[in-house]
């Protein structure tokens, strides 16, 4: 069994409510070496210690691309921008339950991604996946 290396960053984000109003909240970006293509974003709509969270998964490559250009498809779209004089990444999420526009500090996203690359370099993701074990789990119905 491989050891799991995890990178987790808790950072302040803004939930955009309207052109003139945004609500501060926290998000935790989490990367696990044994799921090398994915980033889990856990949003804390209220104080982080109150237990209410919303989770989304998206591609590490898409998040990295969002630092320099518009990207995404389906329910997840991201793009870089300058907001109040600072570099940010906008992340738009949509689901049947609703939609959200979030603003992430680009510097924090970049730091998070640099650390994930030290755990699993780009291009080495497939070496972290045990396809036989994944197939066996699917066939077992788990």
Note the pLDDT tens digit of each residue in 57-71. 999 999 999 999 999
Radius of gyration of the chain (CA): 16
pTM for the predicted model, two decimal places: 0.81
If we measure between CA atoms, which residue out of 107, 96, 84 comes closest to residue 22? 84
State residue 129's pLDDT score.
60
d(CA 21, CA 100): 13
Question: Which pair of tokens denotes residue 119?
Answer: 């755990």
Q: Which residues contact 64 (CB under 8 A, 6 or more apart)?
A: 113, 122
Phi, psi of 10 (to 5 degrees): -100, 130
- What is the pLDDT of the chain when averaged over all its residues? 87
Give the residue with greater pLDDT, 44 vs 12. Answer: 12
d(CA 25, CA 3): 32
């Amino acid at each position: 069994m491989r050891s799991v290396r995890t990178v987790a960053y808790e950072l302040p984000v803004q939930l955009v409510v309207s052109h003139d109003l945004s609500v501060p909240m926290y998000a935790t970006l989490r990367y696990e070496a044994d799921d090398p293509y994915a980033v889990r974003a856990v949003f804390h709509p209220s104080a982080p210690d109150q237990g209410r969270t919303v989770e989304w998964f998206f591609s590490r490559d898409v998040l990295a691309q969002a630092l320099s250009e518009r990207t995404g498809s389906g329910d997840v779209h991201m793009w870089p921008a300058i907001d109040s004089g600072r570099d940010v990444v906008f992340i738009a999420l949509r689901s049947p339950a609703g939609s959200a526009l979030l603003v992430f500090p680009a510097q924090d996203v970049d730091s998070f991604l640099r650390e994930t690359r030290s755990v699993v370099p780009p291009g080495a993701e497939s070496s972290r996946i045990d396809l036989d074990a994944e197939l066996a789990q699917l066939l077992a119905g788990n």
